[in-house]
Amino acid sequence: MTLILPTISFLILMPTIDAKLAQTITLNNGYKMPIIGLGTFESDPGDNERAVGDAIAIGYRHIDTAYFYKNEKEVGNAVRTKIAEGLIKREDIFVTTKLWSTFHEPGYVEKAFKRSFDNLNLTYIDLYLIHYPVPFQRLLKNDSFSVNDVSSFQLSPVDENGNTLTADVDYLIVWHAMEKLVESGQVRSIGLSNFNSEQTERVLSNSKIKPVTNQVECHPNLNQRKLIEFSTARNVTITAYSPLGRPSSSNGKKLAIFDPKVLELAKKYNKTPAQIILRYTIQNGAIVIPKSTNKNRMKENFNIFDFELSNSDMQFMHQLNNNYRLFEYSSEKNHKYYPFNIEF
Ligand SMILES: NC(=O)c1ccc[n+]([C@@H]2O[C@H](COP(=O)([O-])OP(=O)(O)OC[C@H]3O[C@@H](n4cnc5c(N)ncnc54)[C@H](OP(=O)(O)O)[C@@H]3O)[C@@H](O)[C@H]2O)c1
Q: What tens digit of pLDDT does each residue of 20-54 get?
A: 555 999 999 999 999 999 999 998 888 999 999 99
Nearest-atom number in ligand 1 for the CA of 298 is 28
Q: How far is the CA of 72 from the centre of ligand 1 (A)?
A: 17
Per-residue pLDDT averaged across 119-145, rounded?
92
- pLDDT on residue 128: 98
- CA 73 – CA 117 distance, rounded (Å): 10
pLDDT at 63 over 90: yes
Q: What tens digit of pLDDT does each residue of 238-289 get?
A: 999 999 999 987 666 689 999 999 999 999 999 999 999 999 999 999 999 9
Nearest-atom number in ligand 1 for the CA of 274 is 31
Look up the CATH number of domain 17-338. 3.20.20.100
Protein residue closest via CA to atom 48 of ligand 1: 241
Residues tagged active-site: 69
Q: How far is the CA of 219 from the centre of ligand 1 (A)?
A: 11
Nearest-atom number in ligand 1 for the CA of 41 is 45
What residue ranges do the domains of the chain occupy?
A: 17-338
Enumerate residues lining ligand 1, CB below 6 A: 39-41, 64, 131, 193-194, 215, 241-248, 274, 289-294, 297, 300-301, 327
- CA 239 – CA 192 distance, rounded (Å): 10
- pLDDT on residue 11: 39
Q: What is the 3-state secondary structure (H, E, C) of 56-67?
A: HHHCCCEEECCH
Q: How far is the CA of 198 from the centre of ligand 1 (A)?
A: 27
Give percent of the chain above pLDDT 70. 92
Mean pLDDT for all residues in the chain? 92
- pLDDT on residue 251: 67
- pLDDT on residue 144: 63
- pLDDT on residue 16: 38
What is the best residue among 217, 242, 303 to mutate for testing ligand 1's pocket, by most ligand atoms within 8 Å of CB? 242
**Residue 202's pLDDT band (boundaries 50, 70, 90)?**
very high
pLDDT at 79 over 90: yes
Q: 253-263 b/e with 16+ CB inside 10 Å = b?
A: eebbbebeebe
pLDDT at 5 over 50: no
- Residue 22: partners with Cβ closer than 8 Å, 6 or more residues away: 11, 32, 34, 61, 92
Q: How far is the CA of 168 from the centre of ligand 1 (A)?
A: 31
Protein residue closest via CA to atom 13 of ligand 1: 242
Strand 32-34 and strand 24-26: the pairing is: antiparallel
Cβ pair 134, 337 in contact under 8 A: yes
Q: How far is the CA of 52 from the centre of ligand 1 (A)?
A: 14
**Residue 140's pLDDT band (boundaries 50, 70, 90)?**
confident
Nearest-atom number in ligand 1 for the CA of 245 is 20
Protein residue closest via CA to atom 11 of ligand 1: 39
- pLDDT on residue 252: 64
136 alpha carbon, distance to own chain's centre: 21
- pLDDT on residue 15: 35
pLDDT at 323 over 50: yes
- CA 283 – CA 162 distance, rounded (Å): 40
- pLDDT on residue 9: 42
3-state helix, strand, coil in the chain (%, to 5): 40, 15, 45
